[in-house]
Structure 1
Amino acid sequence: MNESLPTAPKANRKERKSKNPNALSGPANFLVNGFFWIYSAACVLPLLLVIIVSFTDENSILRNGYSFLPSHMTTFAYEFLFKDWHQLVHSFEISLFVTVVGTIISLFVMALYAYPISRPDFPHRNFFSFFMFFTMLFNGGLVPWYLVYTRMLHLKDNIWVLIIPLLVSAFFIMIMRTFFANTIPGALIESAKIDGAGEFRTFLQIVLPLSLPVLATVALFQTLGYWNDWFLSMIFISMPDGTHLQNVNLQYLMYKTMLDIQFLTSNPTALAAIAAAGGNVSIPQESVRMAMAVVGIGPIAFAYPFFQKYFIQGLTVGAVKG
């Protein structure tokens, strides 16, 4: 009997050691999971509603409003949107080219700028850092900016005018500089020098492979910026005479289509002229707006999973690590 007495305190100590001090109690764990379920639903349900409304009959929307369970569903909005499918496909190709090529080139250019100013042995790092930071506070204005691209660079109606203005972002350069300075060990660069590697080879074969988190984060934001941009098409791409496809991206095409629909639906004279000419005056407004949103966000929604692996790590650049 005396030999069995010390075993009880040992068992209690083992139970205390095995218990995780950061573990949540049952009710707390239920509340946390419930909160995130509700938050996730609040993010997903609006997107689901947009998709459902895009397949809802226009008259049903006017009678009952937006609904997750519409009384009548139809594909008329997509049929209306894809009537001019040649222009839609052409604008999609332009958006895809601008997004892919612009993101790749901008990443390379910004990394080439951020890496030298992150090196403490670069003698002009403070000047170039201030030069980049200064552009975050002041700019030359819209008119000089427009004249530079149209009169000096002669890029009006050129597809590269949709890429070059968004190539460099001072904010992203500062993020890259912070990552290079805090994450890339100086001893690693010194050892590469000792082994005979030049600056460009060190940058390509050592620095960039170690910088995938920040590169993926910046690439995601640049991809969203290029894909969602419509302002550059409006400013620099002039409208043809109707015999050629418009060299505008998908977002501006959607924006212009929506403006045309709003003009026709709010102008009785235009509707009467269309009807007199034998045209179709049945123009969906709410459903086609949602169909445009689905067409516009559909492709870019598939880009996030490719960046998700590095996205969270890249967002914590410069944070205090435990």
Structure 2
Amino acid sequence: MIKNKIRKRSGTDKTWKDRVFDLSVYGIAILMMLIIIYPLWFIVIASFSDPADVSNGNVWFWPEEWKLDGYIELLKQEMIWRGYLNTIIYTLVGTIIALLVNIPAGYALSRKELFGRKWISIFYLIPMFVGGGLIPTYLVVKNLGLLDTFWVLVLPFSVSAFNIIIARTFFRSSIPESLWEAAQIDGCGTIRYFLTMVLPLSKAILAVIGLWTAVGIWNSWFDAMIYISNEHLQPLQLVLRRILISNESLLGTASGELASELRRLSEMMKYAAIVVSTLPIMCLYPFLQKYFNQGVMVGSIKE
């Protein structure tokens, strides 16, 4: 009798309650996926659609008529290409510097033999809750001579207390202490152990912190607006903001058919700017998704 019950519960023999539960789970998962994906898809199709069709509610899942006017007008701007190049350089250099700073700091805090480890950890935790403010930060950056330079977007904000704590948690939970003991027996020093054994086993946290940093730098525009006035050093997000603001100012001086045409192009350029600015990160994310999920789980471990 017991064997028959177990046989019914296993394999494809499911009760109607199990099937209803499975269908409910799949239905909720599909609904959540649509809620997340549809706004992104709507931005894409709106960038190829006439603004009148979008405002009238005629665009839902496919454009009424494919139009490339927004992308053509946006890519005609020469400053777009300079902003793209600047943002790519800022993201690459800033991500490398952040990894060089935060990963060793997190590893050092994970070591039990570190003198004053508790107080150093508290020192790192304080900036997570208390910030210095915009004006003191601006004065520090100015006194360091970083205003209107390439390094102002990659050096002052490269240290992240949150990333350091996440890296520390990862090293504590994922790198066994016995590995360090075995390395010591073989005559391996601390630096060599970190470079040749710890880092190859830490691809997950490297990818996670690298992705977080890259996304933050890529989407950053406020820091550039505050610290950079040189147009040749401005990143893509700030360049797009300037283009959209200049289009709005042109609308105020135009009238008649010219005003309606400028308004149509301005609306299409807004959607095109969103797609252009987010496309590289969206293409990069699927390759690092599994590491991103691991990084989120690392942060949930209670010590």
TM-score, with length taken from structure 1? 0.83
Contact 1:271 1:281 in 2 (8 A): no
Among candidates 166, 175, 200, match of residue 166 of structure 2: 175
Of 21-30 and 308-317, more deviation after overlay is shown by: 21-30
Aligned to 1:121: 113
Among candidates 213, 216, 221, match of residue 207 of structure 2: 216
Contact 1:166 1:226 in 2 (8 A): no
Where does 1:162-201 land on structure 2 (aligned, <5 Å)? 162-201=153-192
Q: Which amino acid aligns with 2:202?
A: S
Aligned to 2:24: 31
Contact 1:117 1:177 in 2 (8 A): yes
Matched residues, percent identical?
A: 35
How far residue 259 of structure 1 moved from its aligned partner, in angstroms, is 2.0
Aligned to 1:231: 222
Aligned to 1:247: 233
How far residue 319 of structure 1 moved from its aligned partner, in angstroms, is 4.8
Q: Which amino acid aligns with 1:218?
A: I
Deviation per residue, 1:214-236 (Å, 9 max, x gap): 22222221111011001121011
Of 249-258 and 293-302, more deviation after overlay is shown by: 249-258
Where does 1:259-278 land on structure 2 (aligned, <5 Å)? 259-265=245-251, 267=252, 270-271=253-254
Aligned to 2:267: 286
Where does structure 2 lack aligned partners over 5 or more consecutive residues? none
Where does 1:1-322 land on structure 2 (aligned, <5 Å)? 12=4, 15=7, 18=10, 25-64=18-57, 66-84=59-77, 86-152=78-144, 154-240=145-231, 246-265=232-251, 267=252, 270-271=253-254, 282-283=262-263, 284-317=265-298, 319=300
SS at match of 2:49: coil
Deviation per residue, 1:158-178 (Å, 9 max, x gap): 111111133111111111111
SS at match of 1:165: coil
TM-score, with length taken from structure 2? 0.88
Contact 1:214 1:315 in 2 (8 A): no
Bigger radius of gyration, 1 or 2? 1
Of 167-176 and 312-321, more deviation after overlay is shown by: 312-321
Deviation per residue, 1:252-309 (Å, 9 max, x gap): 11122222222332x2xx326xx7xxx9963422221110000011011011122123
Measured in 2, the distance between the counterparts of 1:105 and 1:48 equals 34
Measured in 1, the distance between the counterparts of 2:164 and 2:134 equals 23
Measured in 2, the distance between the counterparts of 1:71 and 1:22 equals 46
SS at match of 1:113: helix
Change (3 A) 1:151 1:50: same
Q: Which amino acid aligns with 2:216?
A: G
Q: Which amino acid aligns with 1:123?
A: F
